[in-house]
Amino acid sequence: MAQEEQQVPFKLPPRSELLRIKSAVLTTNKGRIIFELYPETAPWHVANFKFLADNDFYDGIRLHIHRRGEIIQMGTPRLADPDGGPGYSLPPEFSERSHVRGTLGMARRPDIINPSRKSHGSQFHILLTDASRLDGSFTVFGKVVKGMDVADSLRRGDVIQDLTVFVRPDRKE
């Protein structure tokens, strides 16, 4: 019996607050990866990444997909459950951003079982090569700005130790 999908457990922050969510650091057993985030084109995905990070969802999670030189994917709480996640999905936020090496994108199930093309609630991927064939099919919500060598070194079973999403201070004049 299929499990009923839950509602997203947070409200989208006001745009002025959302646009201050600009970077994240993923710490793994192999090192750190620093991301620039794209709240202007993927507000739900960036807010969700922050929500899950703030609630330590990713801490201790293992990388479960590794295709050498192509893609790595992580975000399922149980390595044996490739569809595992928080129990909700996100609206698609496709943009003009291309799927190039270092792209941070959200996973999703195939159109045949996901005709609304919603994104997974927690599983994200990092591209290890350019993949323009994915443009318009997956939400891009950030890119690697430092630590691509760490991303390249990750393999199935490697562990997320911490994910921290940073909010730029509000500059009141």
Each residue's pLDDT tens digit, 54-112: 999 999 999 999 999 999 999 998 877 878 899 999 999 999 999 999 999 999 988 88
Question: Does the pLDDT at position 15 exceed 60?
Answer: yes
The two three-digit tokens of residue 142, written as one number: 């950030």
pTM of the model: 0.94
Q: What is the per-residue pLDDT across 112-162, written as a single tens digit (0 to 9) for each?
A: 889 899 999 999 999 999 999 999 999 999 999 999 999 999 999 999 999
Amino acid at 38: Y
124-127 and 63-67 strand pairing: unpaired
In this structure, are residues 158 and 61 in contact, taking their beta carbons and an 8 Å threshold?
Answer: no
What CATH class is the domain 19-167? mainly beta
Give DSSP secondary structure letters for 33-54. Answer: EEEEE-TTT-HHHHHHHHHHHH
